[in-house]
Amino acid sequence: MGVENSAVLAWVNKTAQLTKPERVVWLNGSEEEYRQLLAEAVKGGQLIPLNSERHPGCYLHRSHPNDVARTEQCTYVCTSGKEEAGPNNNWIAPDEAYSTLNKLFDGAMRGRAMYVVPFLMGPKGSAFSRVGIQLTDSVYVAINIKIMTRMGAVALEQLGNSADFVKCLHSLGTLDPQHRYICHFPQDQTVYSVNSGYGGNALLSKKCFALRIASWLGNREGWLAEHMFILGIEDPKGKVSYVAGALPSACGKTNLAMLQPPAKYKGYRVWCIGDDIAWLRIGADGRLYAINPEAGFFGVAPGTSMKTNPNMMRTIAKNTLFTNVAMAPDKTVWWEGLDLPASTDGFVDWQGKVWQPGNGQKAAHPNSRFTTPITQCPVYSPHWEDPQGVPISAILFGCRRSTLVPLVQESFSWQHGVYLGATLASETTAAATGATGVIRRDPMAMLPFCGYNMADYFNHWLKMGQRLTRPPKIFRVNWFRLDEQGKFVWPGFSENIRVLKWMIDRCQNQGDAVKTPVGYLPTVDALEGKELSLSEKEWKILLSVDRPGWVDAAQKQSEFFGKFGERLPPQLVDEQRALLERLNEKPVPARS
Ligand code: GTP
Ligand code: SPV
Ligand code: MN
């Protein structure tokens, strides 16, 4: 490829001198090249071809057992001052980080190829879009980026002679978890990652660039980079309204983004624009517009089935990479949540070890994933390509909470909505290493992904609201309330359409609601809830306000807010105080 951009050439040459690869391979993104990469990965043992009839064009990858999820404890934001990174990030001074990393990268690619992977985040020619270039010695990573982004010549064309691209350097190194680093240098638009080959640690286009670096840029330039899906909901009259929503990792974004409404919701359709990341800007008309910077899904496999997410099952029917799922002897894949076949003889688990149901082991790793192109999704929205993005009517912040948080709350104002996002807490999942099921603060589902001090981030959200003349309404949801037996009370999945529809109704000044201290809550009728076989007790779990529980929760927020010191926007403390006042008032059920 005749690359002429001198900044790109200089960076590639300098890196090759440091990492000393056997060869440098420039990727142009063509289909032929993609086939070659797949063949190379099969030959090298990184990919196993799957059953060509049942899974055409599909492959299985097994990552190292110590490298199966994001490692937040090895992830750093290296701004010049620690305060800029904030209490929400691990921090190393840039000089020190570069010095450690340069030692680890010295000769790290010896005997391996270094792939030069240019990629474009966002539609071609869009003012939202940005270019990145990843240098990596992992063919698996290069193949993933081909699926996940607009990769190759298209990115270099958009870049032209400009030096404005994000430098993403990645090496598998020795996969030594003791020396694993994922370092971000927002002031240099640079990311270095070494000793991991997995997901968000290694596909640097995703969380590292499109969230950590992009959120930092967005704060400077007046836009937002968020851990959000984007969907369009079409009503029977054909009107499409757009919703963007953040939920923490493995809490339901992908499922919601391509939901298939139940038969009863005739005429309603959901269109998918993105499932994980949104870049949002204010349009000339004062509305908020969103694009999905990505071109593929890196989704959670366990739990995905024809019952829960038929659109994803159809999406992954071909041309898909599976990572850390189980395999049957006929080279078909399996994971928890799919029906168990009559015979499981010869099944191997995600590590390739013999597996039998009931042997006490998971067949697929709980954070096993698939990588698949968005254009294969049966309900993918053609507006995914719109350079100006889609106008957002509603924003949703969601959490996984077995107690306290109701099914859905509508905020009273933008500021109250920002407070609902900022005080989000959720039970941890297998998407990151560490204990699961532990409640932690995860503001806007961005705790692991915000590339700067979250106090400044909250302030940025508040300022965005002031600039929006037609701001979206902000909601909070929780699909995960448990009953006394530990079962999910809300049926979730396709039935979540009821909540989405109510949200859109509310944006159009319709839909019944009850004013409560924590926001507007829907009535059972507004959710057409009589159709669901839920008892009165179950509705109470979903739609009531546990006043003492909320007083306790609101008081505990002081500790969290305290971490940000003087930098915390006072509006959030005002909202906390207002909530406590509302909770102490006598309950008056009122219709809005
Ligand atoms: P990341 O890709 O990690 O950012 O995750 P995500 O937010 O896209 O989550 P995803 O949609 O992949 O769902 C994660 C897990 O939650 C899967 O096992 C789903 O089956 C399950 N899940 C999703 N939606 C629902 C729901 O409405 N109810 C219940 N009970 N589980 C759900
Ligand atoms: C998440 O953890 O939120 C993901 C997967 O979407 S990863 O790419 O590993 O970040
Ligand atoms: Mn995610």
What single string gives the DSSP state of each residue in 482-525?
A: B-TTS-BSS--GGGGHHHHHHHHHHHTT-S-EEEETTEEEE-TG
What pLDDT does residue 1 have? Answer: 60
> How many CB atoms neighbour CB 438 within 10 A?
9
Q: Using a 6 Å CB cutoff, which residues line ligand 2?
A: 70, 199-200, 206-207, 249, 276, 298, 431
List Cβ neighbours of 534 (8 Å cut-off, separation of 6 or more): 489, 542
Nearest bound ligand to the CA of residue 364: 1
Task: Verify that 86 and 211 share a domain, yes or no.
Answer: yes
> How many CB atoms neighbour CB 351 within 10 A?
15
Pairing label, strands 113-121, 150-151: antiparallel
Domain count of the fold of the chain: 2
* DSSP secondary structure, 208-261, as one string: IIIIIIHHHHHHHHT-EEESEEEEEEE-TTS-EEEEEEE--TTSSHHHHHT---
Look up residue 115 and give its two tokens. Answer: 């792939």
What pLDDT does residue 589 have? Answer: 52
Task: Verify that 40 and 86 share a domain, yes or no.
Answer: yes
Cβ–ligand 1 distance for 57 under 6 Å, the answer: no
What pLDDT does residue 328 have? Answer: 98
Nearest bound ligand to the CA of residue 231: 1
Cα of 555 vs centre of ligand 2, distance in Å, is 31
Identify whether 588 is part of a domain.
no
Cβ–ligand 1 distance for 224 under 6 Å, the answer: no
Q: Which residue lies with its CA nearest to atom 20 of ligand 1?
A: 303
Q: Mean pLDDT per segment of 10 residues, for the chain of length 592 residues?
A: 90 98 98 98 98 98 97 98 98 98 98 98 96 98 98 97 98 97 98 97 98 98 98 97 97 98 95 98 98 98 98 98 98 97 96 95 97 98 96 98 98 98 96 93 98 98 98 98 97 98 97 97 97 96 97 94 97 97 72 45
Task: Verify that 84 and 201 share a domain, yes or no.
Answer: yes
Identify whether 335 is part of a domain.
no
Instruction: Name the residue of 229, 230, 247, 251 whose CB sits within 8 Å of the most ligand 1 atoms, as the mutation to test its pocket.
Output: 251
273 within 8 A of 264, measured Cβ to Cβ: no
Identify whether 571 is part of a domain.
no
The last residue of a domain, from among 200, 222, 244: 222
> Where do the DSSP E strands lie in 354-406?
369-373, 390-399
Identify whether 450 is part of a domain.
yes
Phi, psi of 154 (to 5 degrees): -55, -35
The CATH number given to whatever domain includes residue 456 is 3.90.228.20
Nearest bound ligand to the CA of residue 426: 1
Q: Which residue lies with its CA nearest to atom 8 of ligand 2?
A: 200
Ligand 1 atom with least separation from CA of 429 = 3
Phi, psi of 169 (to 5 degrees): -110, 130
Category of 440 on φ-ψ map: left (φ > 0), alpha (ψ -120 to 50) or beta? beta
Task: Verify that 121 and 250 share a domain, yes or no.
Answer: no
What pLDDT does residue 592 have? Answer: 44
Cβ–ligand 1 distance for 247 under 6 Å, the answer: yes
Report d(CA 314, CA 305) in Å as an integer.
10
What pLDDT does residue 587 have? Answer: 55
Report d(CA 473, CA 288) in Å as an integer.
11
Nearest to 315 by CA among 330, 335, 329, 295: 295
Identify whether 310 is part of a domain.
no
3-state SS of the chain: helix, strand, coil percent to 5?
35, 25, 45
Task: Verify that 213 and 266 share a domain, yes or no.
Answer: no
365 within 8 A of 381, measured Cβ to Cβ: no
Identify whether 526 is part of a domain.
yes
Identify whether 130 is part of a domain.
yes
The DSSP H or E segment spanning 439 is strand 439-441
Give the end-to-end CA distance of the chain in Å, rounded to a whole number.
62
Cα of 320 vs centre of ligand 1, distance in Å, is 19
Q: Tokens 């040459």 identify what position?
A: 13
Report d(CA 428, CA 440) in Å as an integer.
7
What pLDDT does residue 2 have? Answer: 76
Identify whether 217 is part of a domain.
yes
Task: Verify that 206 and 86 share a domain, yes or no.
Answer: yes
Task: Verify that 502 and 391 share a domain, yes or no.
Answer: yes
What pLDDT does residue 474 have? Answer: 98
Instruction: Name the residue of 207, 255, 294 whose CB sits within 8 Å of the most ligand 1 atoms, as the mutation to test its pocket.
Output: 255
Ligand 1 atom with least separation from CA of 495 = 27
Task: Verify that 431 and 470 share a domain, yes or no.
Answer: yes
The CATH number given to whatever domain includes residue 201 is 3.40.449.10
Task: Verify that 210 and 283 share a domain, yes or no.
Answer: no
Look up residue 111 and give its two tokens. Answer: 């005997």
Instruction: Name the residue of 206, 209, 321 whose CB sits within 8 Å of the most ligand 2 atoms, as the mutation to test its pocket.
Output: 206
List Cβ neighbours of 468 (8 Å cut-off, separation of 6 or more): 282, 286, 287, 288, 414
Task: Verify that 140 and 267 share a domain, yes or no.
Answer: no
Range of the domain at 503: 225-296+380-549
Helix (H, G, I), strand (E, B) or coil at 561: helix
Cβ–ligand 1 distance for 299 under 6 Å, the answer: yes
Task: Verify that 275 and 207 share a domain, yes or no.
Answer: no
What pLDDT does residue 591 have? Answer: 46
The last residue of a domain, from among 172, 194, 222: 222
Residue 559 carries which side chain, given as an amino acid letter?
E
Task: Verify that 256 and 141 share a domain, yes or no.
Answer: no
The b/e string for 378-412 (b: 16+ C-beta within 10 A; e otherwise) is ebbbebbeeeebbbbbbbbbbbbbbebbbbbbbbb
Cα of 256 vs centre of ligand 3, distance in Å, is 13
Cβ–ligand 1 distance for 449 under 6 Å, the answer: no
The last residue of a domain, from among 181, 200, 222: 222
